Amino acid sequence: GDVTALDDINLQIVQGEFVAIMGASGSGKTTLMNILTCLDTATEGQVFLDGIDAAALDEEGRRRFRAEKIGLVFQ
């Protein structure tokens, strides 16, 4: 059957703010990060990144957004 990885997420991160995403195994951390970094797209709901509707970005737009707006530090 279908699996709900994320449900009712509302997250605002202010420019310059550092954020850690933590949780138990299987809680949706990787799914959330993949959506926030435009590596994956949400199957439902809306995702706005810096005021931009992520669903409106094509692959080149997502690549450019990642290059210009997102920094990641992997554990």
Q: Find all residues with CB under 8 Å of 57, minimum gap 6, and list them.
A: 38, 65
User: Is the Cα dihedral 23, 26, 32, 33 positive or negative?
Assistant: positive
* pTM summary value: 0.80
Tokens found for residue 67: 């290059």
Q: pLDDT of 36-70, one tens digit each?
A: 999 999 989 999 988 999 999 999 999 999 899 88
Tokens found for residue 61: 């737009």
